[in-house]
A and B are shown apart, each in its own frame.
Chain A
Amino acid sequence: MKLAALTANDNYFENFEVGAVYKHARGKTVEPLENVLFTNLVMNTAAGHFDAHVMKSHPAGQRVVYGGVTIGIVIGLAMQDTGENGIRELGLDAIRLTRSVFHGDTLYALSEVLEKKDSTRDDAGEILFRHYGINQNNEQVFQGDRRVLIKKRSAWIER
């Protein structure tokens, strides 16, 4: 199996420049498929994410999407471009959930390159991205910083 054939060749460590901002191609409409499935799958017991009846008498009037699903989808929408050639996810910081997300909302992701640095490995470097999540009305629902170890093209393109 030739590894370099399985991922794109425009998202190695060398391809990113500090200050660049990208809008990722795909959006995703959040359905009970994601919200209810992942809320229950990770054993999050807060019924406001999966009991439509009780939420009728809540100010929201409907189930609210679990913030962890919003984080997962926004970072997911950015992943092909900013992590497909990632070797390891290192961490997250300054995650903000700035607006409620409901079933039927469509999320899109943007990413900004904040920082690049060498790592302890010769074949990979660390990149700090700031991801932004927006809904169908261009309203912000998410912001967060993500540090990831990404392959260096020079070390991996022939493998």
Chain B
Amino acid sequence: MDPGQHRRGNFRGMTTGDSTIAEVLSRAKPWKKGRFYEEQPDGEERTHHWGRTFTETDSILFSTLTLSFNPIYTNREYARQLGYRDLVINPLLVFNTALGLSVEDNSEVGGAFLGVEKLHYHMDVYPGDTMVAKSLTKAKRLTSKHKNMGIITWHTEGWNQREELIIAFDRSNLVSFGDIW
């Protein structure tokens, strides 16, 4: 017998810990996350959880790993000579973070992310700035292509610590109906 297989077999055997878990699992209630299609009223406005402070590391990592080669994101002196007060936080990271913060309320029980319309960057974002995201549920519609999901469009905004609008966009996503579960 292959000694590796023997070892794995031992590690995969039933232990007293496993029987404890089986008992705990039988009593555990799933802690639900996300909101189904019918749980999101048309016209609802909502502030999303957490907020996020942008760090220099976030932006440099994002800019380099996406090959987003404009020195305003990676060379502080260059950014200053172009008139910025510091390195600029990559706007696509700002967009992705506003979207990310909105996911649990909006599209966590979703299907495909379909698209974005009318995205405007309203203000430059610098390391140390903090953003809070908000959304308005703008439109809901059913689609013949999907039996178990509908399309929701949200207007999402990101606001900084001085209550200034930094980004706004409309996003559409497939969202599951609750009754399929």
Interface string of A1-23 (1 = CB under 8 A from B): 10100110000000000000000
Q: Are A75 and B68 in contact (CB under 8 A)?
A: yes
B34, B66, B99: the one within 8 Å of A42 (CB): B99
Q: Are B92 and A71 in contact (CB under 8 A)?
A: yes
Instruction: Decide yes or no whether B118 CB sits under 8 A from chain A.
Output: yes
Q: How far is the CB of A24 from chain B (nearest CB, A)?
A: 9
Residues of B with C-beta under 8 A to A43: 50, 52, 97, 100-101, 103
| Total number of B residues with any Cβ neighbor in A under 8 Å | 47
Instruction: Decide yes or no whether B126 CB sits under 8 A from chain A.
Output: no
Q: Is the interface of B mostly helix, strand, loop or mixed?
A: mixed
Q: How far is the CB of B73 from chain A (nearest CB, A)?
A: 9
Q: How far is the CB of B66 from chain A (nearest CB, A)?
A: 3
Residues of A with C-beta under 8 A to B24: none
B61, B68, B82, B121: the one within 8 Å of A87 (CB): B82
In Å, the complex CA distance between A31 and B50 comes to 27
Residues of A with C-beta under 8 A to B66: 34, 72-73, 75-77, 79
Instruction: Decide yes or no whether B136 CB sits under 8 A from chain A.
Output: no
| Total number of A residues with any Cβ neighbor in B under 8 Å | 47
Instruction: Decide yes or no whether B169 CB sits under 8 A from chain A.
Output: yes
Residues of A with C-beta under 8 A to B110: 46
List 12 additional A-B contacts (Cβ < 8 Å) besides A37-B61, A87-B72: A1-B77, A7-B71, A33-B65, A45-B104, A46-B107, A75-B68, A76-B67, A79-B66, A85-B70, A90-B120, A93-B118, A95-B115
Q: Name B's A-contacting residues (CB within 8 A).
A: 33-34, 50, 52, 58, 61-63, 65-72, 75, 77-78, 81-82, 91-93, 95-97, 99-101, 103-104, 107-108, 110, 112-121, 124, 169
